[in-house]
Structure 1
Amino acid sequence: MADWSLTLHDSIHAIPAKDWAACAGDDNPFVSHAFLAALEDSHSVSRKTGWLPRHVRLQAPDGRLAAVCPAYIKGHSWGEYVFDHGWARAFEAAGGRYYPKLQIAVPFTPATGPRLLVHPDAPPETRAVLADGLRQLCADTGLSSAHVTFCPETESTLLAEQGWLPRLGLQYHWENRGYATFDDFLGTLSSRKRKTVRRERRDANAQGLTFHTLCGAEITRADWDAFYGFYQDTIDRKWGSAYLSAEFFPLLSERLGDRVVLMLARDGATPVAAALNFVGGNTLFGRNWGCRGDWPFLHFELCYYRAIDFAIARGLERVEAGAQGEHKIQRGYLPVLTHSAHWLENPGLRSAVATFLTAERSAVMAEAQALGELSPYRQEQDGDTG
């Protein structure tokens, strides 16, 4: 780190939006200055919620901006989707102090994207210097650990070369194989799976509901109020906590514009369900869903099938439907490995976690292979055209 300068900032607004954008690019909406600012300005991210912004800015020896990354001091492990509660319990049972820790992530957002945001004109060693700086930050400030979650495999690999511990997870993504229509996609499925999807779409659309795909300014405050109600209902059913405040959602369409897509179902004039999505450079990210009432197959229609429709129409390469839910496989969303990397300051804890992650890695890869064999896509040699 000699001659480099790493500084921490307690608000995204402390780093000019143009500087942040120069490093983050515009492919991933979640690492945009606008998205991170909406989290802070709506108080979804704050001391009260246990996410203290400490965004990182790295300057090269010549004084120029080299990199930034979204970073938070955490006093708990909620809202991360890469679970380390067991590590914390074990370390604290042994007399250690796991919290506070440093989280390099997008809060409440299990979507893969860059975390080490490097300026295109930065020196080639910038990522390695940043990884070393984050590690030094733990030692200098008494933080137990640093965690870079839902990063690209390239970042996980680089961090592993710096002594961080790589970790795998599983999600379900749909890949666009050059389809011109939804029927083109259906044509790649086995006959039985194709008939199931058609039946589910038919039944979902035969319940007297109207469907609306709204982008940016088309989403009214009333739509967002309805969506927030759905969001709270979903959280209540899952015995969770509503991390995101009511003010967060309207800020999204105000600041991110048409990158925000709300797929809404109405019964007459009454909203009954909605799915929130974000458009990236080549990906549609499905994020939150909620519903009131019993509407068979509506979840599949709004969250999966209409997302595929949208991606095909926009020429997007994939839909990321997030974690959990093997039922997604039968609807064309296949298992994909996700990546994170972890630095643990205590040598004993680091050794124990490394042993655990080696075993976990084998299990995750075996699970991904087994789930992949459940693919609904037909083999070309089957001659399945029914």
Structure 2
Amino acid sequence: MSEVSPADWDACANPAGRCNGGSYGTSSALPGDSLGVLRPAYNPFVSHAFLSAVEKSGSATIRTGWGPRHLVAKIDGRVAGVVPCYLKSHSQGEYVFDRGWADAYERAGGRYYPKLQVSIPFTPATGPRLLVRDGVDRERVMEALASGLVALCGVSKASSVHVTFAREAEWKLLAQHGFLQRTDQQFHWHNEGFAGFDDFLATLNSRHRKSIKRERRDALASGITIHWLTGKDITEDAWDAFFEFYMETGSRKWGRPYLTREFFSLIGETMSQDVLLVMARRNDRWIAGAINFIGSDTLFGRNWGAVEHHPFLHFEVCYYQAIDFAINHGLAHVEAGAQGEHKIARGYLPRTTYSAHFIADPGLRRAIDEYLKRERAYVAEAGRELAELGPFRKGADEAP
């Protein structure tokens, strides 16, 4: 991140500025925007503060297999656009899985690594990837960044470029530059202008409404209290407690703790106003918590952990408290991270996520292209079927 100043990077990453004091906005259209690319709402993950913390903390470095190769476009010597990009020696910490592609290619005698990864390390959250400042020809710069990624692939002797959790408009643009299109799904909650959690519950059918009420009651039955910490309220003691939770989750056989303890101190110093810790307390000590990041229209849920395990506490801390916070602060969406069909019963419905993949080898490209055509059809059908399982009332005849 040292090649671009924080001011220049953030002018491209978040041209609308950051959320401030609970005043949240939305994406805004730009004049002459024929690509359909809106100025994105504030996204904390593409900020200089977040990305530099990931690198400075030793979490994403050459040593850990994330060599920074950020792409920069300039007009008359001035930074006009940037792309967060990494030269990778593995496929860990990405959440869009290509290990099968790598194994098949290497069995056939190819060399899949290194590859280029355009993403936010360890963060399966949708956001802008081709970052362009205001006051320039947006289409021209985005086209240049897309072409630049293809050129960087050749210069870096990489097998491929993978742009993951991009916005749909970027996904379509990249397809015009030879990137293959991939879809997947996550489960997101949408705020219909609710005045409170009870308003949300009123939209559910009776069975799910009763179930959520019971889960929330049972989660706090052992004298547990829930606390929202943000800004200056997040002390180093709170970070110590949360890091213990994070490492406990990472110690399980399916987990891996990619982030170092220093990472959390760094974001506490530079962007604590964009962080929400939902912490559970019992017998005068922290026992569980979840870290969330606050955008101008979205609350992004990330990591969770606990040192005491109580029924439904995970749902309360990660899902229901996130909904409460979003309603109270006028946020339109909650993205609760990767995977988890159990989220559907709690009001989080399937939403499509987008990634784009440039494959240099023609043979591998053809094979992956055929695979992705089938996968996209499967993802679309699965999304339709899962949406039918939603907890919301189907007709006016069912009383709230």
Q: 1:226 aligns with which of 230, 241, 249?
A: 241
Contact in 1 for aligned 2:275/2:294 (Cα 8 Å):
yes
2:363 equivalent in structure 1: 348
Tell me the TM-score normalized by structure 2: 0.91
Q: 1:141 aligns with which of 156, 165, 180?
A: 156
AA paired with 2:274?
Answer: R
Q: 1:68 aligns with which of 56, 76, 82?
A: 82
Q: 1:332 aligns with which of 347, 367, 371?
A: 347
AA paired with 1:173?
Answer: H
Distance in 1, matches of 2:276 and 2:147, equals 38
Contact in 2 for aligned 1:65/1:122 (Cα 8 Å):
no
Q: 1:107 aligns with which of 111, 118, 121?
A: 121
Q: 1:248 aligns with which of 253, 263, 287?
A: 263
Q: Residue deviations 1:200-225, cap 9 Å, x none?
A: 01111221012110002211111111
Contact in 2 for aligned 1:210/1:268 (Cα 8 Å):
no
2:186 equivalent in structure 1: 171
Distance in 2, matches of 1:239 and 1:358, equals 29
1:20 equivalent in structure 2: 9
In the alignment, is residue 119 of structure 1 matched against residue 108 of structure 2? no
Q: Residue deviations 1:54-82, cap 9 Å, x none?
A: 1111113x333221011111000000000
Percent sequence identity is: 55
The structural deviation recorded for 1:257 is: 2.2
In the alignment, is residue 129 of structure 1 matched against residue 144 of structure 2? yes
Moved more, 202-211 or 351-360: 202-211
2:70 equivalent in structure 1: 55
Contact in 2 for aligned 1:113/1:151 (Cα 8 Å):
yes
The structural deviation recorded for 1:151 is: 0.5
Tell me the TM-score normalized by structure 1: 0.95
In the alignment, is residue 89 of structure 1 matched against residue 107 of structure 2? no
- 2:261 is paired with a residue whose SS is coil
Distance in 2, matches of 1:116 and 1:351, equals 26
1:5 equivalent in structure 2: none
Distance in 1, matches of 2:316 and 2:256, equals 26
Distance in 2, matches of 1:311 and 1:253, equals 21
Q: Residue deviations 1:23-45, cap 9 Å, x none?
A: 01140000000000111111111
Structure 2: stretches of 5+ with no match in the other structure? 19-41
AA paired with 1:253?
Answer: G
Distance in 1, matches of 2:159 and 2:178, equals 15
The structural deviation recorded for 1:313 is: 0.2
Distance in 1, matches of 2:136 and 2:357, equals 24
Contact in 1 for aligned 2:277/2:290 (Cα 8 Å):
yes
The structural deviation recorded for 1:141 is: 2.8
- 1:99 is paired with a residue whose SS is coil
Moved more, 236-245 or 302-311: 236-245
Distance in 2, matches of 1:349 and 1:156, equals 20
1:155 equivalent in structure 2: 170
Alignment of 1:249-328 (within 5 A): 249-328=264-343
Distance in 2, matches of 1:122 and 1:68, equals 13
- The runs of 4+ residues in structure 1 deviating greater than 3 Å are none
- 1:39 is paired with a residue whose SS is helix
The structural deviation recorded for 1:260 is: 0.4
Q: 1:36 aligns with which of 44, 47, 51?
A: 51
Distance in 2, matches of 1:242 and 1:316, equals 29
Contact in 2 for aligned 1:77/1:83 (Cα 8 Å):
yes
Distance in 2, matches of 1:304 and 1:248, equals 24
The structural deviation recorded for 1:137 is: 1.4
Distance in 2, matches of 1:166 and 1:207, equals 48
2:93 equivalent in structure 1: 79
Moved more, 164-173 or 128-137: 128-137
The structural deviation recorded for 1:120 is: 1.7
1:7 equivalent in structure 2: none
Distance in 1, matches of 2:368 and 2:183, equals 13
Equivalences, count: 373
Q: Residue deviations 1:158-200, cap 9 Å, x none?
A: 0011111010011000000000000000000001100000000
Alignment of 1:164-203 (within 5 A): 164-203=179-218
Distance in 1, matches of 2:352 and 2:186, equals 6
The structural deviation recorded for 1:289 is: 0.2
Contact in 2 for aligned 1:67/1:122 (Cα 8 Å):
no
Alignment of 1:358-373 (within 5 A): 358-373=373-388
2:25 equivalent in structure 1: none
AA paired with 1:172?
Answer: F
AA paired with 2:86?
Answer: Y
